[in-house]
Structure 1
Amino acid sequence: MLLPMSLPNEQPEVDISDEEFLQFDTSGVPVIVTLTKVGRHYIVDATSEEESQMSSAVSVSINRQGRICGLTKRGGAGLDPSVILDMISVAKHASEQLINKLDSEIAAAEACEEEQ
């Protein structure tokens, strides 16, 4: 299938309506928590400055049931399996907090929308 090429400076035409929208169900969407290992410590979602000091990092995708959906490791240093298990445990705890925060923010936005 060939798609028409657009010119580099050409902006797509988008029609946005405040009255018509679909709500996206996020209940099955996992969150991703990245733990960066610096020395003997882990930093959750490190800044680029903190990452510049890392030996390795692990990103863990976790769903609402606390199940791992994916895991990636980067950085040159190897990790002992016990360290990886510890990092996964920390990521699970952080993901619970993140999911709770996201849920409360979504609920607050929906309540605000209903008031209008």
Structure 2
Amino acid sequence: MAEVLISEAEKAFIHHGVQDDLRCDGRSRLDYRPIYLETGIVSNASGSARLRLANSDILVGIKVELAAPSPDKPSEGRIEFFVDCSANATPEFEGRGGEDLANQISQFLQRAYASIDTLNLSELCVIPGLQCWILYIDILILECGGNLFDAVSLAVKSALYATQIPSVKVAAIDGDVPELELSDDPYDTKSLNVQNAPSAVTLMKIGNHFIVDPTPEEESCSSCGIIVAISGNGSVTAVRKTGSGSLHTETLTAMLKTSKEIGAVINELLMGKLEQEKKLGSSKKVGFMR
């Protein structure tokens, strides 16, 4: 993650604020900053979303393509994540500076979505063993304002919600080569059930307490933390530790419990706002966590 250099006096001020449950921007330890999103903004994508969490700005585009399924999962489709950290997001991303973070985010998402508790990938199968849909999820970090894992996960779930998969019919199978017919009707599509798609919850330990949705300055004050992917049904699908510090068993247990509680709220709010935006039209931006 992009690190911000701050003075010892600023670190002490942040530490005291967290201790008193009053952070620099007026939030409590478990409050998120405002989140805004809009979907369907990339015309040539099968699904897209742009999400802004304070100063973190994320754009996600999804392309769907037909290809052969994996040999070990012949009756399932696949999801592949690609993350690009724009050099304009922070000076640290210039050159190859953002590659490590991009790899960390894509690997975390791959693990988070590998669980059967997230998406039903069998819905992406067209002909078992021969053809399936592959979802290529391209993530562009336009601006870095802290808490990127949470912002990216919410943007990905929003883009998946907006994704439309064309209807396809099997005309014939000549040997091992199927002949498929894609519908010409742009409205003859199907949507994904993303109710259980995971949202990430980041908790950073500062002093004897932990906080959610850390700012870049708060991230610099934290010695360690965890990022937890929580599915819509409350299951933990991935956990990642950050920082070089250690966590006591009791603290880790409390952080996991809190992340599940917050994840449940965020997933419910996000699905509600996505459904609200769908009714209002894709040109209407909606916000939540305010």
1:101 aligns with 269
1:81 is aligned to: 249
Asked if residue 33 in structure 1 is aligned to residue 201 in structure 2, the reply is yes
* Ranges of 4+ aligned residues in structure 1 off by more than 4 Å: none
8 Å Cα contact 2:229/2:236 also seen in 1: yes
Alpha-carbon deviations, 1:60-83, whole Å to 9, x = none?
Answer: 011112111010111111111111
Provide the alpha-carbon RMSD of the alignment.
Answer: 2.2
Partner of 1:55: 223
1:16 counterpart residue number: 44
Unaligned runs of 5+ residues in structure 2 are 1-41, 46-162, 165-190, 283-290
Q: Is the 8 A contact 2:226 2:239 kept in 1?
A: yes
Distance 1:110 1:74, change over 3 A: same
Contact 2:198 2:232 in 1 (8 A): yes
Distance 2:192 2:281 in 1: 15
Distance in 2 separating the partners of 1:102 and 1:67: 17
Residue of structure 1 equivalent to 2:214: 46
TM-score by length of 1: 0.75
Percent of counterpart pairs with the same letter?
27
Alignment partners' CA distance in 1, 2:233 and 2:268: 12
Count of residue correspondences: 98
C-alpha distance after superposition, 1:14-73 (max 9, x if no partner): 9739xxx61443223111100000001111020111010002110001111211101011
Unmatched 5+ stretches in structure 1: 1-13
Aligned to 1:52, the other structure's residue is in SS state helix
Structure whose residues are more often strand by fraction: 2
